[in-house]
């Protein structure tokens, strides 16, 4: 006769495995936002340098390389916006996985196993963290990404309007408005994910 399967034991094993895998996912999403920042710092520094070199070469040698510089900057800006969206989207994934982990922990700690009291108050609230928290490290990294995009736009506007008497106003106002627009859209999107189950918030269904 085969051994009977204990559903409770199997469920406990499943939750244990799921808890461990979710921790790996949480670290992955957190690390990915940091990697995006590192990549953008490197790529944008190189791109801005190339654009300025094209611009200076055009002035010194009467060869119009401004369109090439603008094209490179525009492509970089499009990529930067995609990376910004990826960072915001990663925050959604991170929050759901973290809340799920909290729910697991709440389940196992509510019975005070082995007399464990959770005196430190380790996270057990499945409604935390919020999708948008202006003080979180991920939010600050997102601000940096938005700032890098705004800086790249400033370089693009400088090259485009290099002969315009109001170029500095255009540069400052344009990049500041772009920076603010990115953050406003991201914050509104993240806050709209609250009070929604994962499938609806992530996949829209």
CA 44, CA 149: separation in Å to the nearest integer? 9
Q: Are 25 and 97 in contact, with CB atoms under 8 Å apart?
A: yes
The share of the chain scoring above pLDDT 70, in percent, equals 97
pLDDT for position 113: 83
pLDDT for position 4: 67
Q: Are 46 and 82 in contact, with CB atoms under 8 Å apart?
A: no
pLDDT at 3 over 70: no
Mean pLDDT for 79-107 is 94
* 187-204 tens-digit pLDDT: 999 999 998 888 888 887
Return the minimum-mean-pLDDT range out of 105-119, 125-139, 147-161: 105-119
pLDDT at 184 over 80: yes
Q: Where would I find the H helices in 62-165?
A: 66-109, 137-160
CA 5, CA 137: separation in Å to the nearest integer? 45
Residue with tokens 């008497």: 165
Bond before 129 cis per omega within 30 degrees: yes
6-10, 48-52, 127-131: which is most confident: 127-131
Domain segments of the chain: what residues?
A: 8-203
Q: Are 179 and 153 in contact, with CB atoms under 8 Å apart?
A: no
CA 5, CA 15: separation in Å to the nearest integer? 16
Mean pLDDT for 64-90 is 91
Q: Are 57 and 115 in contact, with CB atoms under 8 Å apart?
A: no
How many degrees, rounded to 5, is the angle at CA 24 between CA 21 and CA 27? 150
Residues 6+ apart with CB under 8 A from 104: 15, 18, 19, 22
Q: Hey, is 1 helix, strand or coil? A: coil
- CA 72 to each of CA 3, 61, 93: distance values in angstroms, whole numbers, following the listed order: 66, 20, 32
User: In the numeric block, which tokens belong to residue 161?
Assistant: 């309007």
Mean pLDDT for 4-12 is 76
């Amino acid at each position: 006769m085969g051994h009977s399967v204990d559903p409770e034991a199997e469920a406990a094993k499943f939750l244990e495995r799921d808890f461990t895998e979710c921790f790996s996912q949480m670290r992955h999403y957190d690390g990915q936002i940091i990697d995006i920042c590192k990549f953008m710092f490197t790529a944008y520094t190189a791109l801005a340098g190339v654009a300025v070199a094209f611009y200076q070469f055009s002035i010194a040698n009467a060869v119009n390389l401004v369109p090439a510089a603008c094209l490179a900057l525009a492509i970089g800006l499009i990529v930067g916006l995609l990376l910004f969206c990826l960072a915001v989207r990663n925050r959604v994934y991170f929050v759901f996985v973290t809340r799920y982990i909290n729910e697991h922990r709440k389940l196992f700690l509510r019975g005070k196993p082995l007399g464990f009291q959770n005196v430190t108050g380790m996270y057990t609230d499945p409604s935390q963290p919020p999708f948008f928290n202006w003080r979180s490290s991920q939010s600050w990294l997102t601000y940096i990404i938005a700032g890098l995009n705004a800086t790249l736009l400033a370089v693009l506007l400088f090259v485009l309007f290099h002969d315009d008497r109001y170029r500095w106003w255009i540069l400052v106002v344009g990049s500041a408005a772009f920076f603010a627009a990115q953050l406003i859209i991201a914050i509104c999107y993240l806050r709209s994910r609250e009070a929604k189950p994962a499938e609806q918030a992530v996949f829209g269904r």
